[in-house]
Amino acid sequence: MEIQSNFSLKKYNTFGIEASAKQFVAVHSIAELKTVLAANKNERKFILGGGSNMLLTKDIDALVIHIDLKGKKTIKEDDDFVWVESQAGETWHDFVLYTIDNNFGGLENMSLIPGNVGTTPVQNIGAYGTEIKDTFVSCEAMNIATQEMKTFTNDECNFGYRESIFKHEAKDQYIITSVVFKLTKRNHKINTSYGDILAELAKNNITEPTLKDVSNAVIAIRQSKLPDPKELGNSGSFFKNPILLKSDFEKIHQKFPEMKFYEVSETEVKVPAGWLIEQAGFKGKRFGDAGVHKNQALVLVNYGNATGQEILAVSKEVQKTVFETFGIQIEVEVNVI
């Protein structure tokens, strides 16, 4: 374990933003994490996972601790279910593929989401009709101040749409070190409710899809719409899909009858932020090296040398124009640092 000074974070954030850390250390075990936290009690700390859900707008004047804990294993199983534990530093997509290879069901719709396992509960990540909360059992987390371990159950995480306790009451207090998921071993609940998945399966003449079929469909859809961060800097979806009260939405819908929406409850509807941004004229628009992706308006991109401030400025312009056009406020999903 070596603490390095003035360390470049360009390779540690999927936007590929050039920013530096005052100090940087990668930890590979619980013991190393405890040692670093205990030895640097008075230092300001910044916890870094896969770097996929953040926009760096400045250098980090702190000790950046990169969580690089690896390993996954089955901790319990019965005839129908398996409880699988993954360490926080495992790449999320690799972990999803591992579960599919073992015929464990529940995560296949979230294939190819960037980032590491440890950060998935923070955002309650989701895609194509599934969210982390659907299979999440618990996570182990270390208290930053005391180095004591605590288990958070599903209920204790207070999951919501891209929300959890780790973004609110427990923010900046804990480091997630491992996560346990309860997955199916048989009688898998195949979720193909989203039209894109059905269309992709139909294209391949698949009528009774397996877990692998669903995963492959999701991967194909995401690759057709979303840029690979290794080729074009981005953090996936930059904005949340706004959820509106039906009463408010109906007034807006009268003015814009072509507006797409999905019912999420008896009183609420979700409007695709990508549709709003595209209709506002931003899809494929470029501002120097910052811009909005040509295939998916939800995604902001770095064409090479954009700064975090430049990408943030584009996001604010998008928010402003969408609000002026539709009267709908779209929120940023990524963490702006």
Which one is catalytic: 90, 108, 131, 333? 333
- Contact in structure between 65 and 36 (CB atoms under 8 Å): yes
What SS3 class is residue 175?
strand
Listed residue (116, 14, 225) closest to 217, CA to CA? 225
Q: Tell me whether residue 333 is one of the annotated catalytic residues.
A: yes
Which one is catalytic: 52, 111, 178, 237? 237
Which one is catalytic: 108, 138, 140, 162? 162
| Sign of CA pseudo-dihedral 169, 171, 174, 175 | positive
Residues 6 or more apart in contact with residue 265 via CB below 8 angstroms: none
DSSP string over 270-284: E--HHHHHHHTT-TT
Q: State residue 285 phi and psi, 5-degree precision.
A: -80, 140
- Contact in structure between 86 and 67 (CB atoms under 8 Å): no
Task: For residue 77, count CB atoms less than 10 angstroms from its CB and return exposed for 0-12, middle for 13-18, buried for 19 or more.
Answer: middle
Q: Tell me whether residue 317 is one of the annotated catalytic residues.
A: no
Q: Tell me whether residue 215 is one of the annotated catalytic residues.
A: no
CA dist 221 and 203 (Å) reads: 12
Distances in Å between the Cα of 249 and the Cα atoms of 239, 252, 280 are 19, 5, 18
- The catalytic residue positions are 162, 237, 333
